[in-house]
Amino acid sequence: MKSPSLKEIRGKVEALEREINLQRSILEVIQDPFFILDQKEEFLKANPKGVDMLAYPWEELRRIAFVDVIPLEEIRRVREQFEEMKRGKKVRFRTYIVSRLGERIPVELFGGLREDAFLITMKDLREKTEIEEKSERIQKELAEKIRERDQYVRELSVLRDLYEDKLKEIVKMREETVLLSYTDHLTGIYNYRFFIQQLTMEVERQKRYPTPLTLLMIDVDYFKHYNDTNGHLVGDQALKAISVLIQNAVRQTDIVARYGGDEFAAILINAGE
């Protein structure tokens, strides 16, 4: 067999150097971490991005397998994906790798088998994961704020309803208090205080607008004797009956009051002669 000439040997060496340089250039051009693994899933080549991500010196990285940089809980799923690649399928999935420094790095892995070698490209998802986690955290905070706002609105509505109910009670109590302050507690007609107030007002009105104004003073004869003979309870019933009789005898616009004891009074407004 003829031995190759020196020129042929030099040509083969130059071709081999060009192929090596081309491979090195291709690896350096790839922007994402890129690895070539053999059938045992051991590292054959890695571009600078891949070496930087794993933080292994190349001399150390070439002595370990891909499974050595995978978290224990992810190994089974990663092996299943490698089996898919062995069947000629291209895979794409999310997983984690662990750097030499112990950092757990989220990645998206793209892989396929070519000429008995696994070609693995990884996309570093740390920034994307951080953005997603931040977005999720913001959404949770926003949801919590919305929940707190809705809770506040519900509580405010309850407080408003309570306030309105209490306000109605206060208005009602005030009206009742005013009514009681002007009402005789026994007969239910106006009392002396209200009578004097209304009489003063009607007299002043009569001075400005002269109209007939009549004042009736009513005294129940022999009431003391009746009260002493029959008792105070019977006497009170008699006073109530008398107040009803007087009210029925005048108009609704007239004012009937208990002046005191067994005395009553009535103001007849514009009653004529």
pLDDT cut 70: percent of the chain above it = 88
pLDDT 10s digits, 48-83: 999 999 999 999 998 999 999 999 999 999 999 999
Exposed, middle or buried: residue 269 (CB in 10 Å: 0-12, 13-18, 19+)?
middle
* Residue 1 in this model has a pLDDT that exceeds 80: no
- C-alpha to C-alpha distance for 50 and 247, rounded to whole angstroms: 107
Question: Mean pLDDT throughout 160-188?
Answer: 82
* Residue 26 in this model has a pLDDT that exceeds 60: no
In this prediction, residue 90 carries a pLDDT of 95
Cross-strand bridge partners of residue 121: 34, 110
In this prediction, residue 131 has a pLDDT band, given cuts at 50, 70 and 90, of confident
Looking from the CA of 252 toward its CB, the CA atoms found within 13 Å total 0
- C-alpha to C-alpha distance for 57 and 48, rounded to whole angstroms: 10
* Residue 227 in this model has a pLDDT that exceeds 60: yes
